[in-house]
Amino acid sequence: MAFVSGVTPYIIAVFSVVIVCFWIQSLREKKAKESKGATDSSSKVRRWVDQDLQDDTEILPQHDEFDLPHVPYAPPRYPVDVMLERSQDFYTLMDQRRSVRFISPEPVPREVIDNVIRTAGTSPSGAHTEPWTFVVVSDPHTKHKIRTIVEDEEEVNYRQRMGEKWVKDLARIRTTWVKEYLDVAPYLVLVFKQTYGIASGGKRKTHYYNEISVSVACGILLAALQNVGLVTVTSTPLNCGPRLRALLQRPANEKLLMLLPVGYPSASATVPDLKRKPLGDIAVAI
């Protein structure tokens, strides 16, 4: 008994030391967890990635860019009067561009389409990632399957998904969910944005500002079509992306941005009599 009461203070001391050690250890672990959390959340703020545009990517060092040689660049330079004339001519050409929903089945040389797409591919792109894929469909069965998918979804869009205002706004330009041009046009060009690339080794490669880059390329494509006298209607088939991507067997990193039926206008084509804003309404001089 005397022995037990003699060692009790030692037992209490040892227990106290063990408890203090556990407490210090748990404090250390807590701190380590907190600082790891801070690193994680700061790594979530990804540089050069606009979250809203769903650039679903991770940053990888792209060393090859450091080795890129720079070469002299001297594009043609025009006298001022020629510049004026060219700017006026190009404006006149582009001012004639209209969205045409009545397209002729008349064949168009494939080489012209290839050149138009080559031209679109000259577009600038974030860090020269060229995040676009242009799928050119001329096979009648595939065109018809595309039409079926688009009309299926568009009917639901018009009848259920979109509000009254949307339907009213579209009524002005007389569009409906029936898209005959998807069967008739000799080509359907489906433009996909690549939300990320695949680097060698299979890792994801950042496609900076891919949606803006592909939109710029589409603008150039529209200008190139206008330049050769072909027409299209810029269409963004709502909710059709996944089904069309599956039909055309495009990979998961590609998202449908636009669908452009391409051909000559049909002989009886009409367009809404829209007016464009004058320069004073679209440009601000400071």
Ligand X SMILES: Cc1cc2nc3c(=O)[nH]c(=O)nc-3n(C[C@H](O)[C@H](O)[C@H](O)COP(=O)(O)O)c2cc1C
List residues binding ligand X (CB under 6 A). Answer: 98-99, 101, 173, 175, 233-236, 271, 274
Q: Which two tokens stand for residue 269?
A: 């084509």
Instruction: Considering the complex, state which of residue 193 and residue 205 has its C-beta at the smaller distance from ligand X.
Output: 193
Specify the residue for token string 């994801």. Answer: 204
Q: Which two tokens stand for residue 149?
A: 């998918």
Q: What is the DSSP string of 147-188?
A: HHHHHHHHHHIIIIIS-HHHHHHHHHTT--S--THHHHSSEE
Instruction: Considering the complex, state which of residue 59 and residue 271 has its C-beta at the smaller distance from ligand X.
Output: 271
Q: Please state the closest distance from residue 126 (CB atom) to ligand X, in A.
A: 19
Which residue number places its CB atom closest to ligand X?
A: 99
* Residue 229 CB-half CA count within 13 A: 5
Specify the residue for token string 């990888």. Answer: 60
Burial class (CB in 10 A: 0-12, 13-18, 19+), 251: exposed
Instruction: Considering the complex, state which of residue 1 and residue 274 has its C-beta at the smaller distance from ligand X.
Output: 274
Instruction: Considering the complex, state which of residue 77 and residue 172 has its C-beta at the smaller distance from ligand X.
Output: 172
Inter-residue contact 281 to 258 (CB < 8 Å): no
Instruction: Considering the complex, state which of residue 156 and residue 271 has its C-beta at the smaller distance from ligand X.
Output: 271
Instruction: Considering the complex, state which of residue 135 and residue 205 has its C-beta at the smaller distance from ligand X.
Output: 135
Q: Please state the closest distance from residue 145 (CB atom) to ligand X, in A.
A: 18
Q: Give the distance, in angstroms, between the CA of residue 269 and the centroid of all CA atoms in the same chain.
A: 31
* Cβ neighbours around 172 below 10 Å, total: 9
CA separation for the pair 243, 151 (Å, rounded): 12
Q: Please state the closest distance from residue 238 (CB atom) to ligand X, in A.
A: 7
CA separation for the pair 286, 53 (Å, rounded): 30
Instruction: Considering the complex, state which of residue 197 and residue 239 has its C-beta at the smaller distance from ligand X.
Output: 239
Write the single-letter amino acid at 179.
Answer: K
Q: Please state the closest distance from residue 125 (CB atom) to ligand X, in A.
A: 18
Contacts of 240 (CB under 8 A, 6+ apart): 149, 150, 153, 256, 259
Q: Please state the closest distance from residue 215 (CB atom) to ligand X, in A.
A: 8
Q: Please state the closest distance from residue 135 (CB atom) to ligand X, in A.
A: 17
Q: Please state the closest distance from residue 81 (CB atom) to ligand X, in A.
A: 30
